[in-house]
Every structure is written in structure tokens, then in C-alpha cells.
Structure 1
Amino acid sequence: MSKRVVITGMGIYSCIGTNLEEVRNSLFEGRSGIVIDKERIQFGFKSPLTGMVPAPDLKAVLSRRQRISMGEESEYAYLATVEALEQAKLREEDILQREMGILYGNDSVSKAVIETTDIVRDKRDTQLIGSGAIFKSMNSTVTMNLATIFGLSGVNMTISAACASGSHAIGMGFMFIQQGLQDLIICGGAQEINPYAMASFDGLGVFATDIDHPEQASRPFDKRRTGLVPSGGAATVILESYESAVKRGAPIVAEVVGYGFSSNGGHISTPNIEGPAKAMRRALVQANLRPQDVTYINAHATSTPLGDANEAKAILEVFGGNPYVSSTKSMTGHECWMAGASEIVYSTLMMQHGFIAPNINLVEPDDDIKELNFVSHAIKQEFDIYLSNSFGFGGTNSALVVKKFNE
């Protein structure tokens, strides 16, 4: 028999809050984390909008040797993971005494690569790069840093799947534990915020253009949406087998019951309807649930014209207009590689505290998707099951189903 997989801890470092309590309040209040980044204006960005987080100062908690191999995404992930481990009641000695793994989503290290290249071009001496640069500039930087900092001895891999990376990391962690290969895994996603990471996106013209009103720029599903707003940070969930959690008396936050995945197999950046619908159906089948069992859907919806419309049509195809639907990206912007993990944290916080966060800035949806049960203002609503969508470039799709824990 497959094992039950539960969440015993969560942590978040986001533009709407740098801990669970701050984020919960922002979600309920519909508070936007989008700002104008003056550095992007100097870089020549068409859209200087972004979600911004405070720069971490880890000097008091990590040694210089540890810090020099960490870029910003690893620093965000470290802080999110510390919070998650604390909630899961996992101390350093507990981690060292058992096999604990890490599966984390990440798909860029732009700043580290550019800074290293600049040194070589300018100084013509590779020895001036520094001993930590290689560990900053590898895509697996988050998992290699956290695995060594926390002394992990289990599975250790980075999941690189564009904007579905964080979701796939949780989905794969779910499968590892379900099949008895691991009992305890740190899962999540991280995203660098610096301009280097977003310049090529800006060049594609996919970013929102309403720079006069930053907090209104991200408007998923709304007729007047003009594009996405980039963001970042990190989110961590501790996945654990039910048996392990009960044995050590861990707090059980929620239960992961389904993971669906698919590939569109078409255009590298243009989404379709069939792929997302297939992922959602697969997640429901694995969870042994019917569409009507799902109360809330946290949509991937990034505020792009075609992406939002096609996802909405896929949701209508699978679920009809019954479940509540909102996109927390209306507040956070698109957290890219992190988003699939952070939106599990956001949705689980809602489920824990009996509310559904709003899709802010949604005044009028497209005519052909008005049947969806959109939440444009926060509502108090108890619910037991939700589905979270994450889709990425290359046509990669992930859908996770999470339910309130019942023994």
C-alpha cells in the first residue's frame, strides 16, 4: 500500500510577508507586494514593476564559508526552510539522526553567472573569481547549499521546470514518500529577484505596462490585464510520511493527496487547454476525488491574455463553474520558479484559517470565462480540499491536490 504524505511544516519569504503570519494577514487583506524598482529603470527595462523582498543578513547565523557559496535564491530558501523546520519541530540533532532529503525548484542563477563572467572579462584572471562562485552559479545551488548547511543525507536534487519547478518538487517529494523511498523531505522553490534574471523576459514584452499604479498592475483574468509582474523569494514545505509524523509527535498541517503532470507538446511559450486539463484530471484520479469535491482552485493565472484565458477554459472543462477560483499572483506577482511552492503555502494558510484570498484587481473577466466562480474580495469560507495549478515554458504542467488532515 502507498503511504500517506502529510505536510508538517511550512516557511515563506515573499513580497507579501517574510513569515507565515505576515503572509496570512496580507492574503486576507488583499495586500499587494508590487513596487517600482528604480534599478530596472536604469537598466532600460520597459516595465520596472516587481515584487520585492528584504535582502537577508545571515552573518549572525551562518559562517563566512557557508555564505560565500550562496546567492540570493539560496538565502531566501534558507530562511523559508528554517521557519518550516521550526514549525515541524525538527531540531538540528533530529535531522542529523535520520535520513532527510531535499527536492527544491530552481531554474536560474543569472546574477551569479554574470558577476563571474564580468570578473573574468575585466581581470583576465580566473583565480580572482573566488572559491564560492562555482556553487553560486550552478542551477543546483539551493539544494547543494541547504543539504550541507542542514546536514541532509537523503535524496538531494534540484527540479528545473520553469514556472512549475516548485510544484513539481513537491509532487516528486510526494511520490518519493508515497512509494516508501523516503520518510522526510524538504521541498520548495526559490526565485532570484535581481534585474539580470528578468531582462530577457522584459525584452519579450510580457510584463505589465501599468507602471503608474504598481499595486494594480497584476490583474489575472481581468479584461484589462496587460501582462505579468515578476517577483521572487522562497517557499518551503516539509513533507513527511504519516507514520513518521505520528511517531515523533509532529504537528500535521495538511495532507497531499494528488499530483498531476503533463506536457503540452506544442509551442515553447504559448499555453494550450489540453495540457493543463490533463494535469488536473490526473491529480484528481490519483487523489481518488471527483471534480465536485474540490472547493477552491489557486490558479496559475499570471495576468497574461492568452495564458489566463486558456487556463480558465481548462478549469471550466474539468470542474465547471463550481469551485472558487482566484490567483494569488494578483498580490504577489509571478514568483516564477518559486510560485508552485509558495501557492501551496498560501492555499494551505487559507484552508487552515477558513478564508479564500481574493483575486485583487479583477473588475471584469473575459466574456467567455465569466462562468467561473471568481473570488474578487476575500471571503470567509471553510474548505477541506483545494487544487493548485502551476504551468511553465516548454509546456510543463503540474497540479497538486491538498486536503485538510483527518486521522
Structure 2
Amino acid sequence: MIGDLVVLDVGAVAHGGHCVARLDELVVFVRHTLPGERVRARITEERKGYLRADAVEILQASPDRVEPPCFYAGPGACGGCDFQHATPAAQRLLKADVVTEQLARLGGLPDYPVEVEELPGGPLGWRTRVQYAVAPDGRLGFHPTRSSRVLPIAECLIAAPGVRESGVTERRWAGVDAVEVVAPSIGDVSILTRRGRGRPRVVAGPATVREQAAGRTWKLPAEAFWQVHPAAADTLVAAVLDMLQPQHGERAFDLYGGAGLFAAPLAEAVGITGSVVLVEADPSGTAGAAKALADLPQVSVVTNRVERALTELGEADIVVLDPPRSGAGAAVIEEIVATGARAVAYVACDPAALARDVKTFRSFRWELAGLRAFDAFPMTHHVECVALFRP
């Protein structure tokens, strides 16, 4: 079966950058295609109950199909971009369909309306942090989908200009497993290397980078997490504040708070009579947040796992919840409900995890009162959402 060529009529998009087709009684997850197309596909993987395949010939094309701008896009090539063969508008519609489907299937909310909003800057040249894999001969590249092989590349078109101009793909890298380039909004580019699962090491540029967002300048380690789209940080902050409508004197929690991106504007909104508690498990993250927010006395920074910290923090009026890709989970949500908060703004980078947490919130008789989705990762299947929950 693996390697066979089959003709498939392609159905709806599915979470993960592929579409769904059927071959006899088997579901086939097909990459490099669009809903409504007829394709010739090569079977790449055989699993119990389903198959995976790559569309290698388009027999009947969707009107949304375009020629991928990147030389490395396509079957068996770079796995970084999922939708280069679709117009930017069609990509946003595909992502909206995925969020809607996940909310229905995992969240129990059928037909929830979703629109994915475009961010400024266009679909190329946006990614300010790029991690390259290292091939056995020292060249840099990316992994094909579901493969450990490294495809060497000369240039990544979704990388920001600073990343592309760094010259890292023009040399050989011996003795390292990954090379990361960080092009911050202020200052010079940093280049980091990593061996195995060890900590990254800065080999060129500043060890501390500066980012401009939410009306402030943030100083953080080059390896620290930051939104990779230049417009994402300000966009997400604006969405969170609009949903929560923080009031003077309120008490706010910023959970999984990282560098304090949300804590700072929350503090300004609740004023000196209010308070903000930022919770983050990573000590280096909280150390940076404490320095960055030192001018805001109403902010306190807690280094602890969120589920543990919540058992000791007491009540809150509003909560910002920005969990890892796996989601918040039932234990954290139960503790949030116990705070008596009037509203929660949930920042989600994975629609499946968000949908599972929607179901959990609903089990506590909370409602999904609003949702905005943003195309913070053009050309890929990823989408960023901000959801509003209320009791």
C-alpha cells in the first residue's frame, strides 16, 4: 500500500495541515491539496483505520490554488509550510473551518462562527525566530513532514529579513544539532546553537534582545519565548484588553505569564489601587519579568507551576490564561473557576487544546462568550485564538 498512487476526491480541511478523503472504507489524510479537488496521491503511511498521502498531481484544481512561492514547498520537501498552494484569503478560511470543526467535535459547540483575521505585513517575511536543523554534512535546513531527515535549504521565504540576511545557511555547522536565528524588533540579530537537549548557546549577536510591544521595551534572553510574528504581540494584547475590560481597583491573574506581556497593560488598566499577579514556572522567565515590570508596584511575580500557585492565591476579578500548546487542562480550569473571576481571556495557539478546554469550562457552567482568531502564522496551518469565558 505505501507508495501506491491513488485517485482521491478531496473533502474538508482537517487540523494539522491536511484535508480528508476516502479510499474505499479508509479515511485518508492528504497534504498539498485543497477541499473540492481531485488529485492523484501517493500513500506515505498506513495506520490502523486510516492512511496518510501526498497529492503529487492535481487532476481538478480548486479556484483557490496558486503556485507555491517557495522552491522547497511540495510533497516530500520542507514540512514547515502547509498551505503555500492556497491564496492567503483561502488559508484564513481553511483555518476558520478547522477552529469551527474542533469547537464542534471536541468542545460540544456546533456551528460556532469563526473568522480568522489577517495581520499586517503579508504572508512572507514575517517569522522573526527561525530554528534550523543541521544535516550530517553541516548544512542547515528543515525536516520534511513526519520525517527526521534534514532537507538543506538556501533561503526560507517566511523568515524575516534579518533572519535571511544573517548568512547562517551559507556556511557549514559542525558539532551542533540546531541553529536558531532571532531577529528582534530592536537591535542586532542573535544566532544560537544547540547540542542535543542542552541549553542553547549564543554564538553571535547579543545574549539579551529587545522587543517593542504594548508601549514598552522588553529585554529578554535571546532564547526566551516571544511571538514570532512582528504584529502578534500588540494584536493579542489589544484583543485581551478589549475582552476583559479591566477596571480600576480590580485584581488580575496573568497565568503562564512569561516576560509579562499581558501583565504590564493589565497593571496600567487596574491602576495603583488594583493588583496583578503573574505566575510562571520558568525561573529565568520570572526573573526577566520582575526586572521588566519593576516600575509597576501593583505587579507581583510568582515562580511556580500554575496549578500549584492557584491553590494559594485566593480570589481574582479577571484572568489572562496563556497556556502551552497542550492547553490549560481540567485541574487549572477548576482552580480558575474557584477564584470567582468574572471573566477569563484565554490565548490559545492550538485549536484542539482550546476546544477541549472549552468543554471543561462549560462543564463548570461557564460560557464561551467571544472568540477572535488571528493568522499569526501565514502559510502554515497554525492559528492563534483569543477566547473570552464568563460564568
Larger radius of gyration: 2
Structure with the larger strand share: 2
Structure with the larger helix share: 1
Give TM-score, length-normalised by structure 2.
0.30
